[in-house]
Amino acid sequence: MTQQAERTRRIPLSRDRVLAAAVALADEVGIEALSMRRLAQELGVVPMALYKHVASKEELLDGMVDALVSEIDPPVRDAGWKNAVRLRVLSARRALLVHRWGRQVLESRTNKTPAVLGYMDSFIGMFLAGGFSVDLTHHVMHALGSRMWGFTQELFDDSAGGSAEGPVTLPPEAQAAMSREMAARYPNLLKVATASAHKDSVVGQGCDDQFEFEFALDLLLDGFERLHRQGWTSTPEETPTPTAS
């Protein structure tokens, strides 16, 4: 009976269970609060037990990235390169919006896991299948950069408003004073910040991140299309002069 009871309440750990728990925990409490100790606790186990299933925290993070990548849809078939790329990037973005730690972790990873390489390979494949030259594909992949994962460096995180200043909220007069400060010191920043604030279709705060993302993505894709159509082969006017200094 003790055996039975213990067996029911303690399913043995496994790499997959550890990774799943890590993903869930990071989703819930954020990546900066994900420690081996905390994760072990969540699994009802002593910290060192995890090391029987993952070699190190680095490997844990790699595994989490793999889990994330596996949630990205495969390329849509017979949709044309542009649509295929577009849909895939947006699928990746959806995965990243669910797992908000993804951006940071993806950025930090330097060792590419097979899953990551596989994604990149198949991504490249979309361009080649679309008739892009190997060279143009190469450049185009660089131009996409992290956008291929569905994210970009967020420039206007929460800034430019000055609402949440840590745990303490400033008194209203201080806020007003700060706004005046800002207006005086950063007039241009203020212009674009306030302009984007009172758009109609905006739900939450400053600006519609999804719109901005798709705007830039489409701008790039259109550029790619133009280069491709004119049969790109490193024409002089497209080649930037490599600045020596």
Partner DNA sequence: ATTGACAAGTGTACGACGTACACCTAACGT
Partner DNA sequence: ACGTTAGGTGTACGTCGTACACTTGTCAAT
The one among 14, 111, 146, 234 contacting DNA by CB under 7 A: 14
Segment 61-100, which members bind its own copies (CB under 8 A)? Answer: 90, 94
Stretch that binds its own copies, among 9-17, 22-30, 170-178, 220-228 (CB under 8 A): 220-228
Looking at the Cβ atoms of 44 and 181, the one nearer to its own copies is: 181
> Pick from DNA, its own copies, none: which does 98 bind, CB < 5 to 8 A by kind?
none
Q: Is 82 in the site for DNA (CB under 7 A)?
A: no
Binding-site residue total for DNA (CB under 7 A)? 23
Query: How far apart (Å, rounded) are the C-alpha atoms in residues 132 and 113?
Result: 26
In the block, residue with structure tokens 């994962």: 149
Which of these, 50, 15, 20, lies nearest to 35 by C-alpha position? 50
Judged by beta carbon, residue 45 or residue 124, the one nearer its own copies is: 124
Nearest to 128 by CA among 166, 89, 75, 193: 75
Per-residue binding string, its own copies, 132-151, x by CB under 8 A, is --xx-xxx-xxx-xx-x---
**Token couple for 161:** 């408003």
The DSSP letter of residue 241 is P
By CB under 8 A, residue 45 contacts its own copies? no
Q: Cα-flanking dihedrals φ and ψ of residue 209, to 5°?
A: -60, -40
The partner in contact with residue 21, picked from DNA, its own copies, none with C-beta cut-offs of 5 to 8 angstroms by kind, is none
Q: Does 212 bind its own copies (CB under 8 A)?
A: yes
CB of 172 to DNA, least distance (A): 28
User: Pick from 20, 27, 47, 214: which binds DNA (CB under 7 A)?
Assistant: 47
Q: From the centroid of its chain, how far is CA 60? A: 18
What is the four-CA torsion angle of 185, 188, 193, 197, rounded to 10 degrees? 120
Instruction: CB nearer to its own copies: give 74 or 187.
Output: 187
Cβ–Cβ < 8 Å for 13, 52: yes
Minimum distance, C-beta of residue 75 to its own copies, in the bound complex (Å): 12
29 token code pair: 């409490």
